[in-house]
Amino acid sequence: MTHAVVLGASMGGLLAARALVGVYDRVTVVDRDPLPEDVGHRRGVPQARHFHTILVRGLRAMEEMFPGLTAELVADGGIPVGFTVDSRFVLAGHRMVRVDTGASDLQATRPMLEGAIRARLAKLPGVRLVPDHDVTGPVFEGGRVTGVEVSRDGVAEVLRADLVVDAMGRTGRARSWLAAEGLPTPAEDRIDVNMVYASRLVRPTTPFPDKLVLVGPVPGRPTGFAFAAQEHGRWMVTQVGMAGDHPPTDESGFLAFLKRSAPPDVYDAVAASEPLTEIRAHRFPASLRRRYERLRGFPPGLLVFGDAMCSFNPIYGQGMTVAALESEALRRCLRDGDGDLARRFFREAARIIDPVWQLNALGDLALPEIPGHRSPSTKALNRYVARLQRVAAHDPVAATAFIRTIGLLQPPTSILRPNVLARVVVGGLRRE
């Protein structure tokens, strides 16, 4: 009987486990939290109290893994939102023209999404969810990982496994395990965004015309927000502030902060709405990428997955989508057996992460407030993107190219295709 143990039962762990079902006879998913039957919050995923968009690219991948998931989420109140048909995007200060870009998301609270996936995973053959168990360390034997030590109420136990997957989030346990064994550790790339999220759920008192309003930061004002319809008539108000310009969590401070970036109709709708939860903050100091794909001598029997490998700036809303794409990649790698699995998987994952990381870095470094080296090509690209965003305020082709790219439906290079480039040059000149 082959056995895989996934550490962490958040979106990364659940999606990693899905890839392992049917390949390993048993798949055990361990988390230190109790895993609620309903759609409750839990300590290990504090970000769940903030806006979580699932991009259509990620949703499609999840639908392949769990057929019927999308219909179930919609039946439970999840809201499909077309970008920018029934949503308003204000990026770099420009309101994107309304056009059917083919990009979209599904809007539901994070506990609802995670709960639906967890319930479906738990029903698959060979899967066992093990809540309330703290992972305390790996078992190394003969140069490979052969299991993991877990503990509950101070009682330790070893789970033997042919494969152990670290999906315990951005703190990076696997990295310290390697260091403790005297093995090489991955280099870490980071972008210090010094960001805080502050969010609450509200119920608007009058119907609001868009299902999503997204306002991004601009140079000189590194703040923004999302006002997003969620299941059962609730709306999420999420504010973000980067580079130390952080949203407060008191009532009047929260609204005053919103006034800096919100169009008047959004501000009025939020101010008049009925608060349903407290305002909660979440600190996100830096985007982190651990370069496992560059390591030599990674121990067999271990993989790293999801935020443990790369934790993206969440304002771009891509972490869960990337985890779904990593799950597809893991499944593909396992078709060729588990020989040299880590090297093959990390290489595949890097191909997924590279363009997303670069795109996000470009967005972050467009803000002079964010520290970091800007190469001449970064500066040139950012001048181009600024112009593209300006043109996208009136040009459907430019808007479609940009929105589909940030929605991960096409590679970043597609914003440089001749038809887009021509419009950026001509449209940009017209408005200068």
Ligand X SMILES: Cc1cc2nc3c(=O)[nH]c(=O)nc-3n(C[C@H](O)[C@H](O)[C@H](O)COP(=O)(O)OP(=O)(O)OC[C@H]3O[C@@H](n4cnc5c(N)ncnc54)[C@H](O)[C@@H]3O)c2cc1C
Q: Which residues bind ligand X (CB under 6 A)?
A: 7-13, 30-33, 44-45, 47, 50-53, 134-135, 167-169, 197, 282, 284, 306-308, 314, 317-321, 323
- Six-digit token string for 202: 């509200």
Q: Which is nearer to ligand X, 137 or 396 (CB)?
A: 137
Cis (ω within 30 of 0) for the bond into 206? Answer: no
Q: Which is nearer to ligand X, 135 or 365 (CB)?
A: 135
- Full DSSP string of 179-194: HHTT-----EEEEEEE
- Six-digit token string for 390: 């300006």
Q: Which is nearer to ligand X, 133 or 387 (CB)?
A: 133
Q: Which is nearer to ligand X, 26 or 282 (CB)?
A: 282
The residue type found at 169 is: G
Give, in degrees to the nearest 5, the angle at Cα 223 between 220 and 227: 145
Q: Which is nearer to ligand X, 31 or 328 (CB)?
A: 31
In whole angstroms, how close is the CB of 232 to ligand X at the nearest point?
19
In whole angstroms, how close is the CB of 375 to ligand X at the nearest point?
27
Q: Which is nearer to ligand X, 18 or 50 (CB)?
A: 50
Nearest Cα to 62, choosing from 52, 50, 72?
A: 72
In whole angstroms, how close is the CB of 30 to ligand X at the nearest point?
6
In whole angstroms, how close is the CB of 264 to ligand X at the nearest point?
25
| b/e per residue 313-323 (b: at least 16 CB within 10 A) | bbbbbbbbbbb
Residue found by looking up tokens 């950012």 in the block: 382
Under 8 Å between Cβ of 390 and 402: no
Rounded alpha-carbon distances, angstroms, from residue 339 to 23, 163, 184, 300: 13, 12, 20, 9
In whole angstroms, how close is the CB of 327 to ligand X at the nearest point?
11
Residue 81, classed as helix, strand or coil, is: strand
Q: Which is nearer to ligand X, 36 or 93 (CB)?
A: 36
In whole angstroms, how close is the CB of 170 to ligand X at the nearest point?
6
In whole angstroms, how close is the CB of 431 to ligand X at the nearest point?
31
Residue nearest to ligand X (CB): 44
What is the number of alpha carbons within 13 Å of residue 239 lying toward its C-beta? 29
